[in-house]
Chain A
Amino acid sequence: AQKVTQAQTEISVVEKEDVTLDCVYETRDTTYYLFWYKQPPSGELVFLIRRNSFDEQNEISGRYSWNFQKSTSSFNFTITASQVVDSAVYFCALSEARNAGNNRKLIWGLGTSLAVNP
């Protein structure tokens, strides 16, 4: 069955520390997409990244980087030199291409709450 696990419920770091948020997924399909979303205290979920299952290259966007490892079914997210504004709940999600049509939906992890303290 499809499943997304974010084992870290809460993480607290001091500003400027690096922090990695873990995401492990389960799927029987070879074609799928993985996502990360950020939910700041304001509540609105903000899309961060989409990665398809055929592209295992790591991605870097400013202080954010993502490490996709199919061998371990993981899609971890690292924030370098964290800032107070990074404080939010971060969600990992999985979308399976085989569910195209009637039953396709994103499968969500429970989120990791990150607190970056000054």
Chain B
Amino acid sequence: GAGVSQSPSNKVTEKGKDVELRCDPISGHTALYWYRQSLGQGLEFLIYFQGNSAPDKSGLPSDRFSAERTGGSVSTLTIQRTQQEDSAVYLCASSLGGPFGAEAFFGQGTRLTVV
């Protein structure tokens, strides 16, 4: 597609339920990031995929969070047993990757509300 696509755009879930957030990066982009942005806060890095390399998971806040990227394209972020503090906007971005800095293109995010 023309840009990074995220779905759903909004998700309301009950505490304790699992949720899956999807990201469709720009075709050809080898790098994919997940970030979390709480209300009025900056970007919190969660996980980074680059090509076929093992992902950098150093930003995942707990073992309830996991992500995968299938076929080097679509990525799914899964939050198990959601808690109220998981409520935030989850942003996905993709870039060309490579040895030098390439700008990241962001999706519009998924607003997650845990009630």
Binding site for B on A (CB under 8 A): 31-33, 35, 37, 42-47, 50, 52, 91, 95, 97, 100-106, 108-111
Contacts and interface: CB of A to CB of B under 8 A. Distances in A.
Between A35, A45, A95, the greatest number of chain B beta carbons within 10 A of the residue's beta carbon is seen for A45
Interface residues of B, number: 27
B101 A32 contact: yes
A114 to B, nearest CB: 14
Interface in B89-113: 89, 91, 93, 97-109
B43 interface: yes
Contacts, number: 63
Main secondary structure of the interface of A (DSSP, over half): loop
B42 A111 contact: yes
A17 B89 CA distance: 32
A89 to B, nearest CB: 9
Nearest to A42: B108
B54 A102 contact: yes
